[in-house]
Amino acid sequence: MSIFEGTAVALVTPMKEDGAVDYKRLDELVEWQINEGTDAIVACGTTGEASTLANHEHISVIEAVVKRAAGRVPIIAGTGVNDTNHAIELSTGAESVGADALLIVTPYYNKASDTGLFLHYEKIAQSVKLPIILYSVQSRTNMNLSTAMVEKLITIPNIVGIKEASGNISQIADICRLASDDFTVYSGNDDQVLPLMVLGGKGSISTIANVAPKQTHELAQAVLDDNYELARKLQLDQLPLIHALFSEVNPIPVKTAVGLLGKIDPYFRLPLSSAQSETIERLKKEMTAYGLEVQV
């Protein structure tokens, strides 16, 4: 069975001016997301600036999201790094604080051979009882999960899905051939939710859901309901805002946009820095055009 169907938000991690995690704002974001209809929450993914969090912060953020959600939606913990033992440490930590599933990105920088990649995932999977979603995003990791590798990885019992963010629609279609009751494909690109779901995917792990959770849920639900005319309109309506949200490296624009809604103070940890002035103006324009209420 799928961990979720519909939309999971790749949640930003609110921070204070001194860089500390803002747990009060984090609680408020989780509550808002659930009230707006988001189907699942990813804590400590790329959009959550996980690569800048110390181990204790990483697990603490996951725990805070689990506690606030209180079983209302599945909580998926991002625990993938480029060191297998470190990934196991984060994964077992996430399991111990109540996460429902794990999102494991391919190793970055040091990369791996096909053999090493399989052993990396196998060893992590064997260390936990939780279901695991693979994460393929070559633009960030310089590693692609080919269809052949995915087909091999899903022989590992608790690997149950993939966040496909290659952007390659031919590869997406090929991987969707592997979809089954035991293996779910999710879109990792907000501009490809409709085509991926039409090919057999069950939803998305979304960045834009940070600012438009209700609308993003409605898009995925429209496809699940076979209402393709509505889904096409909702997907196309989002495109200008999606382009604005990726006009600088993620999560700079989306975290700025959440700040423009008045829901967080958009502070970052280096090497990420504040959005450029032209990015902020573009976000204000596209958010307003999309019907969002910019507060500042």
Q: Residues annotated in the binding site, as ranges?
A: 47, 205
Q: How far apart, in Å, are the Cα atoms of 184 and each of 32, 57, 203, 222?
A: 26, 29, 9, 18
Residue 105 CA to residue 115 CA, distance in Å, equals 16
Q: Which residues contact 126 (CB under 8 A, 6 or more apart)?
A: none
Q: Strand, helix or coil at 173?
A: helix
Pick out the residues of the known binding site for pyruvate.
47, 205
Which of 163, 202, 255, 263 is labelled catalytic?
163
CA distance 116 to 38: 35
Query: What count of other Cβ atoms lies within 10 Å of the Cβ of residue 211?
Result: 26
What is the CB neighbour count within 10 angstroms for residue 243? Answer: 14
Selected catalytic residue, list 23, 129, 135, 285: 135
Name the residue type at position 41.
I
Three-state SS for 204? Answer: strand
Which residue intervals of the chain are DSSP H helices?
A: 23-35, 55-69, 84-96, 114-127, 138-141, 147-153, 169-176, 193-198, 213-224, 228-245, 252-260, 277-290
Concerning whether 135 is annotated as a catalytic residue, the answer is yes
Residue 255 designated active-site: no
CA distances from 197 to 6, 148, 183, 200 (A): 10, 21, 14, 5
CA 74 – CA 30 distance, rounded (Å)? 12
Tell me which residues are annotated as active site: 135, 163
